[in-house]
Amino acid sequence: MDGEKRNFDQEAASWDAKPRRVKLVADIAQAIVGEIKLNSRMDVLDFGCGTGLLTMQLQPLVRSITGVDSSPGMLDVLGGKIQDLNLSNVKTRCLDVERGGVLEGSYDLIVSSMTFHHIKEISPLLEQFYNVLLPAGHLCIADLDFDDGQFHENNDGVFHSGFNREKLTGLIRDAGFRNIRCRTVARLSKPVPGGGSREFTIFLMTGCRS
């Protein structure tokens, strides 16, 4: 995989049009709610929020949620949702950590859905997460198990062909997180190159700042 930049801005307007994508995020949201006791005192960061599919599911359950993404087009779509629903507890920030962007603020929970395989250097991002999490704050990462590069029709901007759970657990532990747990939260069948289809599994990995 060469990881060439993918133009998410061009995809933003039609991003929510795929029912399979919407259902996947709904499954991930349900899993997060099952793992973390969300409440009206919590401030949340949704890293790689895209059009806010996950943000919008969690926002009624928390005090505030900040959606961070490197794509202005994606954030424009989320901004439209915020405006249409007159939401006061959701805000957005355009930030590219791979171009030196630094996360700001303090959060009780950081969530990230299907974004990590687009991040070239995982460890520096995990360090940033640790720095902006409050003591006893939680981290929830949903992403693909190792997929041989078959999940995406176009692998531009993909730096990891899914993840080995043990290796990712080690990286999260090295960043200072504890009580790391992981379980399968979704299964998705998709056509693959060469014909036929394949089932892909998505895990949710959680950890706590010590």
Q: Per-residue pLDDT tens for 150-198?
A: 887 777 778 998 999 999 999 999 999 999 999 999 998 888 877 888 8
Share above pLDDT 90 across residues of the chain, in percent, rounded to a whole number: 77
Whether domain 8-209 has CATH 3.10.520.10: no
Backbone angles phi, psi at 145, to 5 degrees: -70, 165
Which amino acid is located at 40 in the chain? S
What's the CA gap between 62 and 171, in Å, rounded? 28
Answer whether 113's CB lies under 8 Å from 57's CB.
no
Half-sphere exposure of 172 (CA within 13 A, CB side): 25
Q: Per-residue pLDDT tens for 81-135?
A: 999 999 999 999 999 999 999 999 999 999 999 999 999 999 999 999 999 999 9
